[in-house]
Amino acid sequence: MLSMDDLFKGRHFDREIIILCVRWYLRFKLSFRDLVEMMAERGMSLAHTTIMRWIQRDVPEFEKRWNRFACRAGASWRVDESYVKIKGRWTYLYRAVDKQGKTVDFLLRAKRDVAAAKAFFRRAFKSQGRLPRAITLDGYQASHRAAREILGEHHRGKRTKIRSSKYLNNLIEQDHRSIKLRLGPMLGLKRFRSASITIAGIELMHRIRKGQFKLAKLLVKGKTAPEIWNAVLAA
């Protein structure tokens, strides 16, 4: 992991400005040009492509740093897929939350099939460091097959209950809305890799809003958002 100095080394703008633009773009319904205009009112001239490059370069590093303080989600998962259009084609965003609505994990895939679902489950199991007690799915059989097969690879996989419930999955369907509401004003994503990074940033901001990080040891209680971000990135 890069040090704080190396992360922002050689930049033409102060790190506070970079963090602010990245954070605001991912959190609020702003376009790159909205941010350019907002920064211009503060006496700073920058191109919208500059902010675009900041998103692609810095989001993976920001995500790594925040994940050091991530809380583990609960053991009862609600799993579902949402649709994301990239360069005129629909792709699939696999997501899961626990019964309290905390984000478990997410994964953008080009197809909606068994392989994609298995890739998501592998990622989620790894990030949480354990198998869930229960996985709630919709009626799509590819997801059920993927869950059974991936659990079969673990010696404790039989302990996990797989169930189908439209009612219980209302929770994840409602949670999709926060992500889709932010993606809407972006007027279309052009490349799969850049879309994946942007969505990772949106998901990170969503997790921060939901309080999914333990920051007590950083002594950030009562501090402003910029101060909290600086503390997390520097830790």
Question: Average pLDDT in the 167-176 region?
Answer: 90
225: containing domain: 4-69+213-234
For 57-75, what is each residue's pLDDT tens digit? 999 999 999 999 999 999 9
Looking at the fold, whether 136 and 178 belong to one and the same domain comes out as yes
pLDDT at 8: 86
Question: Average pLDDT in the 196-203 region?
Answer: 97
Looking at the fold, whether 88 and 27 belong to one and the same domain comes out as no
Out of 11-15, 39-43, 101-105, least confident range: 11-15
Looking at the fold, whether 116 and 179 belong to one and the same domain comes out as yes
> Into how many domains does the chain fold?
2
Residue 207 belongs to some domain of the structure: no
Looking at the fold, whether 65 and 119 belong to one and the same domain comes out as no
Looking at the fold, whether 46 and 96 belong to one and the same domain comes out as no
Looking at the fold, whether 42 and 62 belong to one and the same domain comes out as yes
Looking at the fold, whether 169 and 86 belong to one and the same domain comes out as yes
pLDDT at 188: 65
Residue 107 belongs to some domain of the structure: yes
Q: Tell me: pLDDT of 234 over 80.
A: yes
Q: Which of 71, 123, 74, 68 is nearest to 95 (CA)?
A: 123
Residue 60 belongs to some domain of the structure: yes
For 89-141, what is each residue's pLDDT tens digit? 999 999 999 999 999 999 999 999 999 999 999 999 999 999 999 999 998 89
Q: How confident is the model at residue 187 (pLDDT cuts 50, 70, 90)?
A: low
Amino acid, res. 21 = C
pLDDT at 173: 92
Query: Rounded to 5 degrees, what angle do the CA atoms 105, 111, 113 make?
Result: 80
Residue 197 belongs to some domain of the structure: no
Question: Average pLDDT in the 12-29 region?
Answer: 94
Residue 114 belongs to some domain of the structure: yes
Q: What DSSP string describes 133-176? A: SEEEE-S-HHHHHHHHHHHTTSTTGGGSEEEE-TTTTHHHHHHH
Instruction: Give the H or E element holding residue 80.
Output: strand 76-86
Question: Average pLDDT in the 173-202 region?
Answer: 90
Looking at the fold, whether 64 and 80 belong to one and the same domain comes out as no
pLDDT at 12: 85
Take residue 174 and report the two structure tokens written for it. Answer: 């409602």
Amino acid, res. 41 = E
Looking at the fold, whether 19 and 84 belong to one and the same domain comes out as no
Out of 21-25, 147-151, 154-158, 186-190, least confident range: 186-190
Looking at the fold, whether 158 and 178 belong to one and the same domain comes out as yes
Q: How confident is the model at residue 37 (pLDDT cuts 50, 70, 90)?
A: very high
Looking at the fold, whether 54 and 82 belong to one and the same domain comes out as no
Question: Average pLDDT in the 156-168 region?
Answer: 90
Instruction: Give the H or E element holding residue 192.
Output: helix 192-209
pLDDT at 56: 95
Residue 192 belongs to some domain of the structure: no
Q: Tell me: pLDDT of 1 over 90.
A: no
What's the whole-number average pLDDT of the chain? 93
Q: Tell me: pLDDT of 5 over 80.
A: no
Q: What is the CATH number of the domain that holds 174?
A: 3.30.420.10
Residue 220 belongs to some domain of the structure: yes
Residue 47 belongs to some domain of the structure: yes
Phi then psi dihedrals of residue 81, to 5 deg: -115, 145
Looking at the fold, whether 52 and 124 belong to one and the same domain comes out as no
